[in-house]
Amino acid sequence: MRVLGVDPGLTRCGVGVVDSLPGRRARMAGVGVIRSDAGLTVDLRLLRIADGLEEWLDAHLPDVVAVERVFAQHNVASVTGTAQAAGLAMVAAARRGIPVALHTPSEVKAAVTGSGRADKAQVTKMVTRILRLDDPPKPADAADALALAVCHLWRPAGALHGGERHELTSAQRAWAAAEAAARRKG
């Protein structure tokens, strides 16, 4: 299984692709950051993030997209842009019929470090070790995206849409996406 992790952001949107291997091991297939120029208007910045996400989906064809769950309570000043980038990642996946999973920051930290209150340095250190990387991924957004993907691979069984109602199978999702595409063309 291949997971694209997305650490959403308007200035820097972290993306990381991780493949599961036998025996609870995992391998990095790609990592990066999609950036938008803070000098552009918000609509063009969001377009840049959306286009960047499409490029990552095209290049890596993930089975699942894991996105950090955005809480309005955190970082009030930047939550709007963060929520919008997360929304673009969800729509891009849904349009392709790819299942989306949302994981909270504390779930991600707990999955890779064992503690839901780990700091960024600990997350980066454990991601580097788990994926057997030569160097720590930088910036932190890139490491967080990889941690999200690892968290998703190591989640408890049945937690794909934890907290969401009406869980859909992959087939149902592909059908919903195809129907949506037909509506657009019709």
User: Toward a copy of itself, which CB reaches closer, 21 or 176?
Assistant: 176
Nearest distance from C-beta of residue 4 to a copy of itself, angstroms: 13
User: Toward a copy of itself, which CB reaches closer, 24 or 185?
Assistant: 185
Please give the backbone phi and psi of residue 32, each rounded to the nearest 5 degrees, phi first: -175, -175
Residues 34-53 that bind a copy of itself (CB under 8 A): 39-44, 46-48, 50-51
Angle at 24 between CA 52 and CA 110, to 5 degrees: 70
Q: Out of 29, 110, 133, 168, which residue is the one contacting a copy of itself (CB under 8 A)?
A: 168
Which residues form the catalytic set?
Answer: 7, 68, 141
Residues in a beta bridge with 32: 15
Q: How far apart are CA 14 and CA 27, in angstroms?
A: 17
Residues 6+ apart with CB under 8 A from 14: 5, 6, 7, 32, 33, 139, 140, 141, 142, 143, 144, 145
Binding site for a copy of itself (CB under 8 A): 39-44, 46-48, 50-51, 54-55, 70-73, 76-77, 79-80, 83-88, 90-91, 93-95, 100, 102, 161, 164-168, 173, 176-177, 180, 183-184
